[in-house]
Amino acid sequence: MHNLYRQLCRDHRNMQQLLDAFDQLLADFARQERDPGTLGLILDALDYISVYPDRWHHPVEDLAMERLRAKPGASLAPVETTLSEHRAITAATRHMSTLFYAIANDAAVERNQLFRSVREYLQLQRQHMERENREIFPQFEQLLTREDWQAIEQQLQCQRDPLFNAEIRNLYESLQHYLASLQFDACVGA
């Protein structure tokens, strides 16, 4: 199994963890007595989602799916769906950021619209990853060769995951602390 493929799988686990934390932050945000730092963490999470998955993870998947298109036996319908979802997710992330930055700047955002948009966003993200895990990643594993992964690697400008990489985690330190506290609370409650 190639390192890029392993990284894509790790990214999905990390992203699921982040979406769960984002869900918890939104629950905290909906309460009247919310912590004032919650909005900052939500903005950090949205910034992370627009920086890492949209600028590294999805482009790697896109390159791998382009290689899949040339493989005999590849199932192309999920590839086409996934490629179009990447564009939709990028637009949805921008929309989420716009809504929450408006709130941060004291603009009026209708509560029902906000939470409806957030539920749709989280559903889109989760369904997307589930489909990739079920229909795309197995094809990556079965059909892409070491040479395919090396060609993909050559096309990439190396980036590191800023949330789950210790060397540059400080950019998202508050968000990382929040994720760690959720994991600790889950372990203590078990």
Tens of pLDDT, residue by residue over 135-184, are: 999 999 999 999 999 999 888 754 455 545 555 555 567 777 777 777 65
**pLDDT per residue as tens digits for the range 98-146:** 999 999 898 988 988 899 999 999 999 999 999 999 999 999 999 999 9
Quote the DSSP letter at residue 157: P
Q: How far apart are CA 155 and CA 152, in angstroms?
A: 5
Sign of the Cα pseudo-torsion (132, 138, 144, 146, in order): positive
Region 15-42 average pLDDT? 86
Q: Which residue is it, tokens 């950019």? A: 171
Which of these, 52, 127, 135, lies nearest to 90 by C-alpha position?
Answer: 52
154 touches 67 (CB < 8 A): no
Residue 184: the pLDDT is 59
User: Which regions of the chain does DSSP assign to beta strands (E)?
Assistant: none
Structural tokens at position 142:
């079965």
Please provide the CATH number assigned to the domain covering 3-189: 1.20.120.520
CA distance 52 to 72: 31
| Residue, of 78 and 29, whose pLDDT is higher | 78
Contact 82, 61 (CB under 8 A): yes
In angstroms, rounded to a whole number, what is the distance separating the alpha carbons of residues 180 and 178?
5
Q: Tell me, what's the pLDDT at 56?
A: 82
First to last CA, the chain: 33
Expressed in percent and rounded to 5, the helix, strand and coil fractions of the chain are 80, 0, 20
